[in-house]
A and B are shown apart, each in its own frame.
Chain A
Amino acid sequence: MLKKTYRPRLFVLCLIPVMLMTVMTGKLWYLQIVRHSHYVNKANEQHHKIINVVPNRGKILDRNGRELAGSVLMQTAYVAPSLIRTEYAGELARDLSAALRLDFKEVHKRLLDNREAPLARKLDEVKANELRDIMRRHARNVPTTALYFINEGKRYYPRSDLASHIIGYTELIDSGDNKGVAGIENSYNGILRGQSKRVRARTNAIQNILEPIDPETLNSTYGHSVVLTIDDAIQHAAEAALRKRVNEMSADAGVAVVYAVKTGEILAMANVPTFSLADVSKASDFQRRNRAVTDAIEPGSVMKIFTFASLLDENKLSLDDSVNCEGGRWSISGRTIVDAGGHGMGTVPAKDVFKNSSNVGTVKLAISRLTPQRFSKRLVNFGFGVKTDVDLPGESPGLLRPFKEWSGLSMSSLPMGYEIQITAVQLAAAAAAIINNGIYMQPHLLKELRDFRGELVKKIEPTALRQVVSPETSRKMLQLMELVVKEGTGKTAACELYNVGGKTGTTKKMEAGTSHYSTKSYIASFCGVAPIEDPQIVVYVYIDNPRGGAYYGGAVSAPVFKEIAVAALEVLKVPATKMDKPAPTLEIVSGRLRDKLAGEVPAQWLDGQFFDDEVSSGCMPDLRGLTMLEAKERLVGLSIPFMYEGSGVVIDQKPAPYETIEASQQALIKFASQQQFFERLAMTIAERNKIQTAVQHNTVSVAQQTALSPSVPVIKLNKAGKSAVLDVAVAATTAPAAARQKTKATKRKPLPLPDLDEYAQRPPAVSAKESAWRRMNIETEPAAKSDKKTGGKSKRQSSPNTPVMNNRSNPNDQSGGDE
């Protein structure tokens, strides 16, 4: 039996756990209730880590969406020294420093530092994995998490030599972010950079993030992409042409600006010398300077564009007014003005003054017919002396003194481009304004902003700022500029396929540190426009200090203009203009198709002879443009068996329209979307135009036909008659000539050539100018139907494929129209 001591001691044993539990519950009470908030704070402190999510810098794209600058995520390796024991740090530091090609001591120090710090930035995936492997090898001694990786954006430039001055470059700032320090990277830094986000993420004790960062937060770190007005092809052409010429002439520098006349978009801005964005640090300031905006130069004779425009617009000048050029040497107020080239003119019409760039004539006209006030006001109106606010940093306002500060000599200097300094962008914008029916457009480089998904955020519409001259003056200036190229100082600018105009300039450079003009160094410039019939671009080129012997703008810079303009017009798909008026179209020969297309395609396409749509059996009808149902009806009606492919409207057929078809022969009909049909049409017309130009080199300027003499139909008819022959010749390349001839003779029922009256009575559906404009629209904005602003064109708007004019950018509407 149990002893006496047994029971009381068991009772004691019962009390102990109860007491202990009371004490422990008390402690728990203290910890979990009294100190609860303290520990909650401590817990939150350590369970969450503030992660700095580096913004993802937006792209810079050209107008066609080609990437000029982009970002890739690179990894930055961070060290967590708290996880590394001192005795193992040396070994690890040795391997890491070898892999990273860093100094051993530096790495070793970082591994034993007392804070987590980046060890190496901008590692690609391969390098990062190499480091992870090293950590794995050391896993026995050092936890692999002692080195962790964080994404950071690295800027890259796929075409590092293109448009460097415009794009600019970035530098890495402390936060791992990139900051734009030049060019668009700088001026739109705020838009491009995106937001750096501090994200509170749940982590474990070794700082690993336990859950992925909320995608919405991540998305908000993306910067917008900037779409520039630059076209990379034009930019490339401009840079190549300029660089070539600068090298040939051993010149100091060169600038070329390609400017879209109607919109104020800068299509290209080339600078020589240039530099590579792949290695900015190697470039000198001389190379990095974007002269087109930062450097203002005395424009020299190019200035005469503005002098003459002012004279004409003030109604102080008629192009045929006689001016005595004094044989090229004339003194005024103790100063002798000399015409370049040494061969002075006598009394000539004013247009010859411009054409041959007579300083004497220009100054005489300006002094006698313009007051300094009026001239000064004009120049201010042209935007000189004020920044254009083009989207680039460091823009120079140029130099234009208020007329009150003008000296007695100013009126003899300014008209010929001295005592005034203008940047290339200012000059191109002002010249374009004169050409654009007098409407000064805001020059700009920014076309659109898009978010990181590529969705449009903001579209920069072309903005008309002011009317600087009347449309009448504009037309006259175009004539004058065309004369310069055709007969005057700018003959070297003439292009084979386009009629172009321009003005040459040769500026004597001020000798450094003096107020004397040098007799050895010049700036050779050319400001040209193309094509004359429907000006699309202004190209301003200047070459600083050519040393190749020639120094005149016409000799040095005009050929650069030519090269750039031809390339640009080709890129812009501007049809060649230097050719005969469009002959009867080969493609559209049926009257039915013409009627169907009227109002939907440029009227030019429909010029020419049309055949009756009726065909006798055994002859293939013209089915193109018909819907599937319509085509089927026609073919069944003529009992022609057929096969087809695709859907939509007929874009091609075999046999061709009006060809013979054997009774048992199957016709093959191809269908595609109406859009494709139009595109194909446009393509074949452009192709044919080239062939025609090659065949008959007609030098008659179309400008004279359209702009100067509206009585087109006569010429049209003539050309139509002439090219009827051509029609056959060209057609022969596509179908066997014999068969074609036979068809013509027997089966085909050709209508007589349209007579004069019919042609004259048929009103042109759209004016030549407008139609060309709309042609542009077709090519650049296929989905123009979205523009709801088009007023007064509702009929056309109703058709989904109707190219619709953009009111805001159509000069015709703003200037009161010339329809």
Chain B
Amino acid sequence: MKSSLTWLIFIVTLTLLTTGVVMVYSSSAASAAREAMRDDQRSSALAPRANDATLDMSAHSFYYLKRQVVWVVLSIIAMLTVYHFIDYERYRMLATPLLLTAIVALALVFVPGIGIAHKGSHRWIGFGGVQIQPSEFAKLAMVLYMAKKLAEKQDVIRSFWRGFIPMLLVLCIVAGLIVIEPDLGASVVIGLICFTMFFVAGMRRIHLATLGILAALAVVAAVIAEPYRVARVFSYLDPEADIHGKGWQLYQSLVAVGSGGVVGLGLGRGPQKYLFLSEAHTDFIFSVICEEMGLIGAVIIMTFYVAFIILGICVAYNSSDMYSSLLATGVISMIGIPAFINVAVVTGLVPTKGLTLPLISYGGSSLFSNMLAIGILMNMSRNVEIANSPSRRPRHAHG
């Protein structure tokens, strides 16, 4: 790798991935046994007894680990491919078709036979044995598209009708499709990614503020539209009010985090994953990290995310043009925004959202699209040296 920045991004990414694999294994053992048991029950009437499942855990505890490892390997290959073979400038061409594909895919989740519903949400499409979550890829497509379009519109970026509104429409289409899945969390994330890119692209503050207020109102409306979201908000305000009902998830997360203490209970030793945390290996994996690795572990993980963001901003800062700068910003937003929202959720700072922790949580689609994005970022960072000041760089001289 040509640049030390590339190396640093790569190392930070690998560190987070490794932590993810370890934590997925640690946190999924309990639900893995259950999942495997459900498989058994589907396949045979002579299923093992439900009561024995937890005691017979070791036999099934690799269920999620195996899948996660496969996805990690595939993602790393994809990332290196993107990094090594595809020059980021090419995405200018690909951005619009990719976004259109993503929109189609987002629509497909509602098509019976292709879309897969789980717990009332249409978030997946499936073919063969593989399930993918289009919203994850839509995020990436959105970043590519916005980077291209915002760079093209630099001249009119401060214009309301020609700069702000077209971008907002695209955002509304994509975010709207995701909201009706329903996946409010993912659409909020896409909105925030776009907002960040708008900000960096140089939109007027008044426009951004309007967007912020409108978005907030939209979120409030979406929350009020669905009773369970209202309940989540109330439980966020007082997590211990209804421990066995709506407050369960947050309360259990707080118990996990709180009981971890400074150094944690040790890897694999946390009891909260035994079905107390409802999605210990996905949405609440950071709770398990806090529980098992303590404050120290949690801060280290957060530091890695922050480091990743700073490295990405370095790339953006040192980029030769607006397009690459926005692309880098988009990529770090894709990783950084869900990461911080996830941490905020598990620590009770914001109401519960169904959001995964990028690079760490279990989930193939999210991992794969994030790694593609990181591959793009690494590709951009090839020619950037941290020490290089933009003013001193010859490439920038002509602009």
B310 engages A14 (CB within 8 Å): yes
Separation in Å of the B44 CB from the closest CB of chain A?
11
Question: In the complex, what distance in Å separates the CA atom of A421 from the CA atom of B204?
Answer: 115
A24 engages B275 (CB within 8 Å): no
The 9 A-B residue pairs with the shortest CB-CB distance in the complex, in nearest-first order: A39-B258, A1-B399, A144-B50, A204-B274, A205-B275, A5-B202, A43-B259, A205-B276, A47-B271
For window 156-206 of chain A, which residues contact chain B by CB distance below 8 Å? 202-206
Question: In the complex, what distance in Å separates the CA atom of A39 from the CA atom of B305?
Answer: 27
Most buried by A among B154, B202, B396: B202
Kindly list chain B residues whose C-beta atoms are within 8 Å of the C-beta of A5: 202
B200 engages A6 (CB within 8 Å): yes
Separation in Å of the A761 CB from the closest CB of chain B?
79
Interface-side segment among B182-190, B339-347, B359-367: B339-347
16 contacts between A and B (CB under 8 A): A6-B325, A9-B199, A17-B336, A24-B349, A28-B257, A32-B290, A32-B298, A35-B258, A38-B258, A43-B258, A46-B255, A82-B244, A139-B50, A204-B30, A204-B276, A209-B54
With A32-B261, A47-B271, A135-B50 known, 18 other A-B pairs at CB within 8 A are A1-B399, A2-B321, A6-B200, A17-B309, A17-B336, A17-B340, A24-B302, A24-B349, A25-B299, A32-B262, A32-B295, A39-B258, A40-B258, A47-B272, A145-B51, A205-B276, A208-B51, A210-B274
Kindly list chain A residues whose C-beta atoms are within 8 Å of the C-beta of B321: 1-2
Interface residue count on the B side (C-beta < 8 Å): 58
Separation in Å of the B275 CB from the closest CB of chain A?
4
Separation in Å of the A466 CB from the closest CB of chain B?
60
B25 at the interface (CB under 8 A from A): no
Query: What is the interface of chain A mostly: helix, strand, loop, or mixed?
Result: helix
B306 engages A24 (CB within 8 Å): no
B142 at the interface (CB under 8 A from A): no
Most buried by A among B49, B254, B262: B49
Most buried by A among B49, B255, B272: B255
Given known contacts A2-B322, A39-B258, is B313 in contact with A9 (CB within 8 Å)? Answer: no
B259 engages A33 (CB within 8 Å): no
* Interface residue ranges, A against B (CB under 8 Å): 1-3, 5-7, 9-10, 12-14, 17-18, 20-21, 23-25, 27-29, 31-33, 35-36, 38-40, 42-43, 46-47, 82, 132, 135-136, 139, 143-145, 148-149, 202-206, 208-210, 212
Separation in Å of the B268 CB from the closest CB of chain A?
13
Separation in Å of the A120 CB from the closest CB of chain B?
16
Separation in Å of the B243 CB from the closest CB of chain A?
9
A27 engages B348 (CB within 8 Å): yes
- Partner pick for B258 among A31, A47, A203, CB 8 A cutoff: A31
Question: In the complex, what distance in Å separates the CA atom of A189 from the CA atom of B234?
Answer: 55
B317 at the interface (CB under 8 A from A): yes
For window 324-342 of chain B, which residues contact chain A by CB distance below 8 Å? 325, 329, 336, 340
Question: In the complex, what distance in Å separates the CA atom of A486 from the CA atom of B294?
Answer: 95
Most buried by A among B199, B259, B295, B336: B259
Kindly list chain A residues whose C-beta atoms are within 8 Å of the C-beta of B329: 10, 13
Question: In the complex, what distance in Å separates the CA atom of A3 from the CA atom of B276?
Answer: 51
Identify the closest chain A residue to B204 (Cβ): A5
Given known contacts A17-B309, A28-B299, A132-B49, is B54 in contact with A204 (CB within 8 Å)? Answer: yes
Kindly list chain A residues whose C-beta atoms are within 8 Å of the C-beta of B262: 32-33
Given known contacts A36-B259, A38-B258, A206-B275, is B50 in contact with A24 (CB within 8 Å)? Answer: no
A24 engages B202 (CB within 8 Å): no
Kindly list chain A residues whose C-beta atoms are within 8 Å of the C-beta of B115: none
Kindly list chain B residues whose C-beta atoms are within 8 Å of the C-beta of A148: 51
Given known contacts A6-B325, A28-B347, A145-B51, is B274 in contact with A36 (CB within 8 Å)? Answer: no
Question: In the complex, what distance in Å separates the CA atom of A10 from the CA atom of B196?
Answer: 10
B303 at the interface (CB under 8 A from A): yes
- Partner pick for A7 among B260, B317, B336, CB 8 A cutoff: B317
Given known contacts A7-B317, A43-B259, A132-B49, is B202 in contact with A33 (CB within 8 Å)? Answer: no
